[in-house]
Amino acid sequence: MRTKLFLAFIIIISLAILSNIVFERLILKDFNDFVMGTREDRIYWIMASVEGSFREGQWDINALRESLHWGLMLGFETYVEDTDGNRVISSTDVLSTLNPSMLKRMNSLFKLPSGRGEFTWYPLYVEGMEIGRLYLRPLERLGLTPIKEEIFRKRGREFLIISFLIAGGGAFILALLFTIFLSNPLKRLTSSAEAIARGDFSARAPSPHRRLKDELDRLTETFNYMAEALQREDALRRHLTSNITHELRTPLTIIKGNLEAIEDGVISDPNEVIRNIKMEIDRIISLVEGVEDITSAEASFFKRGKKTEIDLKEFIDSITEIMEKVFEEKGLFIKKEGRSMIVRTYPEKLHIVLKNLLTNAYKFTDRGGVTIRWGRHHDTGGSAFFITVQDTGRGIREEDLKRVFDRFYKGMDSGGRGLGLAIVKELVEVMGGRIEVDSKEGEGSRFTLYFG
């Protein structure tokens, strides 16, 4: 990852340098073209002026002198030859006629004509006839102009270096930032994933609590959620395996004992043996169903579903309607205290929760009955609500209170599987709520559900 990032940045830097070099070359070329272009223009003007000094078949020396003056002022040393190769006039001849102030000025601009050096020649024509040649050589310039040109070229090179530093520095800083903000969280995520792969399901990737979450934050959150799911799965598997083996052993031992008694022919009442075996098999079936229920409650952590709006009164009425008859048969009442109110909840889960609480209340109450209360729970805001299931039953001993929600915990004479309240607690938590219990032995129990 890091190597790839650095490679990418090196490519970016190289591209930046390449474009800078191309850019600098183009600018310098343009500049040189410009300088050359103006030089050619000047030469053209000097030639035109020299040709103009040839009048009526002969050179007008005064005009020619004037032309060579111009030449000097434009920065060229010149001399003119006629068709026979004789020198007509040269810049050095002209110098003597130059007025002193002009000469001084020129002296400061150019190295004055020496007659030496390499000259280029151009043919001179008047009306299609060759009249001679113009020899020309740029004077070496003094003063500011060459310095300016050199400064321009230097600036070009400086520009290249500075832009390289900016591009290179920028890319380096970016590479660092990327490493910190991209590579480091990924590294942490990888080490957490490796820890989980080794079987440490408690490993989590540190997730930043930012308001604006990027893909990486979301990936971390999803990863942590997945890790938690795995941890739960693992805990459930361990728990269930040990509890199930334990719970299965008793009925299976009883069944085995009864079967051995038949084998040995030591049974007095075969019907009772069959009854016993059937009862134990029913226990096993009930246990399997209970395990299914708790597994699906656990699994609902992953499939939370969607909240729907329901009228809580109607909802509770529909549950008690089914149970009223059995309560009546046992001589127990079901009282409801609460008004019609709309709540947002997970109806299927709430249904299982209430049914379990009511079944327990029914099972562990011999006199009186059960009261269901509900209403808004103002502590946590407008949408919060509570439901209380209170019975007048035998109550729970104080030391057992904290164990009632444990899986497979059951009272001596429960006859159940000890899974009901474990399922209730799991579901309530998945729904984002909490459950509280208080009870007094001999007086009754009260289970309260709070939902936000």
Ligand X SMILES: Nc1ncnc2c1ncn2[C@@H]1O[C@H](COP(=O)(O)OP(=O)(O)OP(=O)(O)O)[C@@H](O)[C@H]1O
- Contact residues: Mg ion, CB under 5 A: 360, 416, 420
Closest to 389 in 3D by CA, of 372, 404, 366:
372
User: Residue 404 or residue 427: which is nearer to ligand X going by CB?
Assistant: 404
> How many CA atoms lie less than 13 Å away from 292 in the CB half-sphere?
6
Helices marked H in 53-83: 61-73
d(CA 287, CA 250): 12
- For residue 251, the minimal CB distance to Mg ion (Å) is 19
Least Å from the CB of residue 348 to Mg ion: 18
Of 53 and 365, CB closest to ligand X? 365
**Of 188 and 410, CB closest to Mg ion:** 410
Q: How far is the CB of 179 from ligand X (least distance, A)?
A: 53
The distance of Cα 5 from the centroid of its chain, to the nearest Å, equals 16
Which tokens is 15 given? Answer: 């591209």
Q: Which does 369 bind (CB under 5 to 8 A by kind): ligand X, Mg ion, none?
A: none
Q: DSSP string spanning 318-381? A: HHHHHHHHHHHHTT-EEEEE----EEEE-HHHHHHHHHHHHHHHHHT-SSSEEEEEEEE-GGG-
Amino acid 56 reads: E
Q: Which is nearer to ligand X, 79 or 364 (CB)?
A: 364
- The CB-of-410 to ligand X minimum distance in angstroms stands at 3
Measure the CA–CA gap between 148 and 233, rounded to whole angstroms: 79
Smallest distance from the beta carbon of 431 to ligand X, in angstroms? Answer: 18
Is residue 12 exposed (0-12), middle (13-18) or buried (19+ Cβ within 10 Å)?
middle
- Residue 310: CB minimum distance to ligand X, A: 24
- 343 vs 384: CA distance, rounded Å: 8
Q: What does the binding site for ligand X look like in residue numbers (CB under 6 A)?
A: 290, 360-361, 364, 391, 393-396, 404, 409-411, 414, 416-422, 445
Q: Kindly tell me which of 203 and 291 has the beta carbon lying closer to ligand X.
A: 291
Give me the residue whose beta carbon is nearest to Mg ion.
Answer: 420
**Binding partner of residue 414 among Mg ion, ligand X, none, CB under 5 to 8 Å per kind?**
ligand X
Q: How far is the CB of 312 from ligand X (least distance, A)?
A: 21
User: 344: which strand partners?
Assistant: 309
Which of 255/421 has CB closer to ligand X?
Answer: 421
Q: Which does 310 bind (CB under 5 to 8 A by kind): ligand X, Mg ion, none?
A: none
Distances (CA, A) of 319 to 117, 334, 348, 357: 117, 11, 11, 12
Give the H/E segment covering residue 424: helix 420-430
Closer to ligand X by CB, 192 or 243: give it: 243
